[in-house]
Amino acid sequence: MVRKTGKPLEVIVLAGGFGTRLCEVVKDVPKVMADIDGKPFLHHLLGYAAKFGAGRIILSVHHKRDIIMDYFGSSFQGIPVVYSVEEEPLGTGGAIYRALGFVEGENALVLNGDTFFGIDFRDFMRCHEEGGGDVTIALKLLKKCGRYGTVELSGTKIAGFVEKSSSSPGYINAGVYGIRKDLMKKVPFEGNFSFERDLLSGKTGDVSLCPYVAEGYFIDIGVPEDYRKAQSELANVISPENP
């Protein structure tokens, strides 16, 4: 079993996407609510975060948000849930910027709502806080990066980002971030912007990045093929026997 030690984690989940690539198989609900073994994908993701001491959940919502809000209400497994509502699409950057305003502490664990990376969130956030960077990015080594962009490393530092195009091995951004709330003071953008392209890629030199390379089960349900894969694999991966 996972031990919930240390201070509770504040968890932001980006759950406002349209799920355009998945709409042919998930038509009536936002993609984060796509069914996996009888429960929404987001339910499984939050359940996994709860194992590592999530003490407060902030859901960034936009597309079909009423479905998400009606399902989770104001708490999940006894953990308070609040909502950062995007009246207009803000992109990943704008969504994170807005959601950080709901964070009460100094740091937040930020998760893409359509990906799962089975790492120890408690250890990840410990490394983030000790590393002193503005943003820590969880990285996964894939044999074939395919549709994912890659992250280049130089020793223990992030050297750059490469757009998707390679079928060779590489480290990918696994959609798990540790972010200091103070990052809001360094963001030169307003409204709709991309966290990955506009902020992480170095368009502002003031943001310090740290890598966290880890093994763990990774799945992105953003395309039908991987969604079907998640349907057959994910429930077993995150069961109590496989924390």
Helices (H), 64-150: 65-72, 91-100, 121-131
**Length of the chain (residues):** 243
pLDDT digits 0-9 by tens, 114-127 = 999 999 999 999 99
Lowest mean pLDDT among 25-34, 43-52, 168-177: 25-34
Q: What is the DSSP letter of 123?
A: H
pLDDT digits 0-9 by tens, 5-44 = 568 999 999 999 876 777 677 778 999 999 999 999 999 9
Model-level pTM? 0.93
pLDDT tier at 1, thresholds 50, 70, 90:
very low
CB 45 within 8 A of CB 232: no
User: Residue 188's pLDDT is what?
Assistant: 80
pLDDT digits 0-9 by tens, 51-100 = 999 999 999 999 999 999 999 999 999 999 999 999 999 999 999 999 99
Query: Where do we find the tokens 């200091």?
Result: 180
Helices (H), the chain: 41-51, 65-72, 91-100, 121-131, 224-237
Domain boundaries, the chain: 9-138+173-237
94 or 3: which leads in pLDDT: 94
Give the pairing of strands 35-36 and 39-40: antiparallel
Q: Rounded to an integer, what distance in angstroms lies between the CA atom of residue 221 and that of residue 225? A: 8
Domain 9-138+173-237, what architecture? Alpha-Beta Complex (3.90)
